[in-house]
């Protein structure tokens, strides 16, 4: 079985650019580079990873492309492009030359306009991704799921993957409206879901594995085992524990599932979605 971590980040910490890493996040206020992650993956039996953008800039793409070109274990990149740009078609055509550039992400969760994704110019950019076989990672919060459902309906041939289960409020055990919208979103079979970022949505210091079971039950029942992927969200996961603790949550949960289902979750689905082979 080829095991893939479908969601992690690298950065050279810049306090101005990376203002989202606030005073409560001292554990990640430093550089995190491929040399830091590789031994962690090896120790945990993970064969490769997908690095996802954390800064919305062209410089971020070049930084991650350089990382991927010099480290074979980085199997793919989810970068960023200005999807509203007039020349977006030319930009996508340019990035198609890089085999490890698999798709793009926009930090929709941070947009003041909560239905930003439904803007005409943004939708135009999304409509062009399929021409170049690019995927799109959905980074949204629970209040944006209702718009996300309308959004993905518009692009039935575009592969989407939801990041971090849309960040449900696990700390306060809020689940009702999130469950309703996840079920509706999952009805669209071109949408996948990453089981990533969970421990940072719980209480960082007192969470227990049982806190995640109701949320995992919902995504498994909604998406099925052919549309779920493991992602660590390293190094952000270090705020609430360790790589090993994040991995153990899902390893324990799926321990009673069939070998085939576990192989899909821990690698097969990511390989298929991001076309890693």
pLDDT of res. 2: 93
Share of the chain above pLDDT 70, in %: 100
38, 50, 66, 229, 234 from 71: Cα distances, Å: 9, 12, 9, 22, 17
Query: Looking at the predicted structure, is the pLDDT value of residue 277 above 90?
Result: no
- When pLDDT is cut at 50, 70 and 90, the band that residue 162 belongs to is very high
Structure tokens given for 169: 């409020």
Q: What is the pLDDT of residues 49-103, one digit of tens each?
A: 999 999 999 999 999 999 999 999 999 999 999 999 999 999 999 999 999 999 9
pLDDT at site 101? 98
Which pTM was predicted?
A: 0.97
What pLDDT is recorded for position 1?
78
- For residue 97, count CB atoms less than 10 angstroms from its CB and return exposed for 0-12, middle for 13-18, buried for 19 or more: exposed
pLDDT tens, 192-244?
A: 999 999 999 999 999 999 999 999 999 999 999 999 999 999 999 999 999 99
Measure Cα distances from 66 to 3, 17, 58, 99, 133 in Å: 23, 20, 13, 12, 21
C-alpha 222/C-alpha 102 separation (Å) is 25
Three-state SS at 200 = helix
Place of tokens 């306090």: 15
Angle between the N-to-C axes of helices 120-129 and 88-95, in degrees from 0 to 180, rounded to the nearest 10: 30
Query: For residue 78, what are its two tokens?
Result: 């989810």
Cis peptide before 173 (omega within 30 of 0): no
Spatial CA neighbour of 162 closest among 79, 219, 224: 219
Say what the pLDDT of residue 146 is: 98
């Amino acid at each position: 079985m080829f095991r893939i971590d479908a969601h992690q980040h690298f950065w050279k910490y810049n306090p101005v650019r990376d203002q989202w890493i606030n005073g409560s996040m001292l554990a990640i206020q430093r550089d995190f580079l491929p040399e830091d992650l590789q031994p962690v993956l090896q120790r945990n039996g993970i064969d490769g990873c997908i690095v996802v953008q954390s800064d919305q800039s062209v410089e971020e793409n070049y930084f991650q492309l350089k990382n991927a070109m010099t480290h074979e274990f980085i199997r793919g990149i989810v970068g960023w492009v200005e999807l509203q740009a007039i020349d977006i078609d030319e930009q996508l055509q340019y990035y198609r030359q890089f085999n490890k550039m698999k798709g793009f992400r926009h930090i929709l969760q941070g947009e003041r306009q909560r239905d930003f994704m439904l803007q005409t110019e943004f939708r135009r950019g999304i409509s062009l991704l399929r021409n170049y076989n690019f995927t799109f990672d959905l980074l949204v919060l629970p209040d944006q799921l209702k718009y996300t459902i309308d959004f993905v309906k518009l692009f039935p041939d575009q592969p989407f993957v939801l990041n971090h289960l849309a960040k449900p409020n696990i700390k306060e055990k809020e689940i009702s409206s999130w469950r309703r919208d996840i079920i509706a979103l999952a009805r669209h079979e071109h949408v996948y879901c990453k089981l990533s970022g969970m421990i940072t949505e719980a209480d960082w210091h007192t969470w227990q594995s049982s806190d995640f079971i109701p949320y995992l039950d919902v995504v498994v029942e909604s998406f099925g085992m052919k549309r779920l992927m493991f992602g660590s969200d390293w190094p952000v996961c270090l705020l609430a524990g360790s790589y090993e603790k994040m991995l153990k949550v899902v390893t324990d949960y799926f321990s009673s599932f069939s070998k085939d289902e576990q192989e899909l979750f821990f690698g097969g689905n990511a390989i298929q979605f991001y076309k890693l082979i």
